[in-house]
Amino acid sequence: MYKTEQEKFWAGEFGSKYIERNNSEHLLHSKIAMWTTMLRSANNEGSNRELGCNIGLNLVALKRLHPKLNLSGYEINDDAVRRANELNVGKVTKGSIIDKIKDKTVDLTFTSGVLIHISPDHLSNVYENLVYGSNRYVLIA
């Protein structure tokens, strides 16, 4: 089912435990501050997609800053997908970001803290999803 050891690792128990280690109001506030700074360079983006969104804290931060944004994400871990969708800030799809994403394009595609966990043999696939999935902006944090 998975093409790499990294996918298997994050889709499994470690990925599920990561949810609890990285779910806090303090972390959310730091993400809001980060997005406030980063979005100063963007103009009129109405739709954003995160690749590797976990439980969606970046999506929550974006929604708090810009409530009208159309948000979506991709995440490989079932537990994280469920938790992210319970937040009702956007549509989070279960899937690997190394597989071709065929959704319609958005104004901003991004990933944050995920690329270090992607096998070097598959990084170009993620880059393609970021570039070809965006109408305007690509952000890698």
Is residue 32 a contact partner of residue 66, using CB atoms and an 8 Å limit?
A: no
Burial of 13 per CB tally in 10 Å (0-12, 13-18, 19+): exposed
Is residue 95 a contact partner of residue 115, using CB atoms and an 8 Å limit?
A: no
Is residue 8 a contact partner of residue 2, using CB atoms and an 8 Å limit?
A: yes
Distance in angstroms (rounded) separating the CA atoms of residues 12 and 76: 9
Distance in angstroms (rounded) separating the CA atoms of residues 78 and 55: 10
**pTM for the structure as a whole:** 0.90
- 3-class DSSP assignment, residue 71: strand
Per-residue tens of pLDDT for the chain, all 141 residues = 778 888 787 888 877 878 777 777 888 999 999 999 999 888 888 999 999 999 999 999 999 999 999 999 999 999 999 999 999 999 999 999 999 999 999 999 999 999 999 999 999 999 999 999 999 999 999
Question: Which position has the token pair 């880059």?
Answer: 127
Q: Which residues pair with 134 in a beta bridge?
A: 106
Of the candidates 37, 115, 50, 39, the residue with the CA atom closest to the CA atom of residue 89 = 50
